[in-house]
Amino acid sequence: MPINVFIIIRKSQGSRVVVSARSFADLTPQASFDIKRCDLHRLDEGPSVQTVLTREDGLRYYRTMQTVRRMELKADQLYKQKIIRGFCHLYDGQEACAVGIEAGINPTDHLITAYRVHGYTYTRGVSVKEILAELTGRKGGIAKGKGGSMHMYAKNFYGGNGIVGAQVPLGAGVALACQYQAKNEVCVTLYGDGAANQGQIFEAFNMAALWKLPCIFICENNKYGMGTSVERASASTDYYKRGDYIPGLRVDGMDVLSVREATRFAADYCRYGKGPILMELQTYRYHGHSMSDPGVSYRTRDEIQEVRGKSDPITMLKDRMISNNMASLEEIKDIDAEIRKEIEEAAQFATSDPEPPLEDLCNHIFFNDTPFEVRGTSPWVKLKSIS
């Protein structure tokens, strides 16, 4: 029986609010969960089919996934209001991938992905405020408003890349640096089902395997490259086998615990010199490819609804925790309310912060260089660039 405790909070202006708080003493601190077995390629053993989730971790994953979800929905809203322009590729539906991966690696590990990047930017440490302000092109954005949706960076996070497939050799290069510097770090290199046919990815596979680079290649298979389904784009849709001589595993990308377990497995494999490994995460995006795509000309609304109803990653985690008495509904509601507030404040900032000043136009061309002149739109316009 839950014990109800009444707490009286005195707010700063002197008014008083009575809040009912439940004691958390009777909630389960951790539980063991069965997760789907992964399909394996060139591996004798895969990740464990059971994993232990602590209450603390569970709440953290929930909070993070929900934050990404709400942030993306807010971006949708701002885009429709024309406050965000250009490209905007939303991640809602795929949250378990970003959150599960981050849970399986260390903050000192490295990560690079393509253009559907807002979720990873958040899990890699950038605030919602700085992400939304970058989307709205303001000076408080993580790239000072100069990059936009696809070009966000942070420590050990290399974007945010607009050219499909280009991030894969880049990620293998970051892995080369990890190996070179001998710090036992790995690089997670993500790409989509659409990018999976790019030649340069196979070039990266070859060099990564040849030189045993500590690179975890991850294909986020959300079933559609823009509007082309996987069956219409790839002669082989077994993306986890496409690394050929590189061992691979196919993972349920809608289950954050499966993703975490698989990532831990992969990171262990890579970290101590066995070479690269490939993971395919089977996932789904609710939005179209980008904000200019309603997302229903190449797939049915029924399909989208079915995934939402049966496999939503956030709902799945919440249900697991509630039904195992690891969290209370009130707690979840409180977290939701906090997140809503955080997103609102971030959106406020993102719509009110000024755009970068014109003086900043030509800056950041070169790093660590003396200031120089940049030609403007006509020979009489001489602009200045500083590092």
Residue ranges that bind another protein, judged by CB under 8 A? 110, 112, 141-147, 151-154, 158-159, 161-163, 166, 168-178, 180-181, 187, 199-200, 202-204, 206-207, 210-211, 363-369, 372, 374, 379, 387
- The least CB distance from residue 385 to another protein, in Å, is 9
- The least CB distance from residue 137 to another protein, in Å, is 11
**By C-beta, is 324 or 363 nearer to another protein?**
363
**By C-beta, is 154 or 233 nearer to another protein?**
154
- The least CB distance from residue 212 to another protein, in Å, is 12
**By C-beta, is 73 or 154 nearer to another protein?**
154
Structure tokens belonging to residue 333? 């509601």
**By C-beta, is 120 or 224 nearer to another protein?**
120
- The least CB distance from residue 205 to another protein, in Å, is 9
**By C-beta, is 175 or 304 nearer to another protein?**
175
Tell me if 111 sits within 8 A of 105, measured CB to CB: yes
Alpha-carbon distance values, 97 to 100, 123, 220, 236, 334 (Å): 5, 11, 8, 22, 24
Which of helix, strand or coil describes residue 60? helix
**By C-beta, is 162 or 295 nearer to another protein?**
162
- Show Cβ contacts of residue 272 under 8 Å, excluding neighbours closer than 6 positions: 184
Alpha-carbon distance values, 187 to 158, 164, 204, 258 (Å): 10, 18, 13, 19
Angle, CA 262 vertex, CA 259 and CA 268 arms, to 5°: 135
**By C-beta, is 100 or 214 nearer to another protein?**
214
- Sign of CA pseudo-dihedral 20, 23, 24, 28: negative
- The least CB distance from residue 159 to another protein, in Å, is 7
Query: Whole-angstrom Cα distance, residue 132 to residue 99?
Result: 19
Query: Whole-angstrom Cα distance, residue 362 to residue 359?
Result: 7
- The least CB distance from residue 125 to another protein, in Å, is 12
**By C-beta, is 62 or 120 nearer to another protein?**
120
- Select from 195, 275, 188, 180 the least CA-distant residue to 228: 195
Identity of residue 156:
N
Tell me if 142 sits within 8 A of 132, measured CB to CB: no
177 burial (CB, 10 Å; 0-12 / 13-18 / 19+) is middle
- The least CB distance from residue 352 to another protein, in Å, is 19
Structure tokens belonging to residue 217? 């290649």
- The least CB distance from residue 271 to another protein, in Å, is 16
- The least CB distance from residue 200 to another protein, in Å, is 5
Structure tokens belonging to residue 303? 């399909």
Identity of residue 227:
G
**By C-beta, is 147 or 295 nearer to another protein?**
147
Tell me if 159 sits within 8 A of 111, measured CB to CB: no
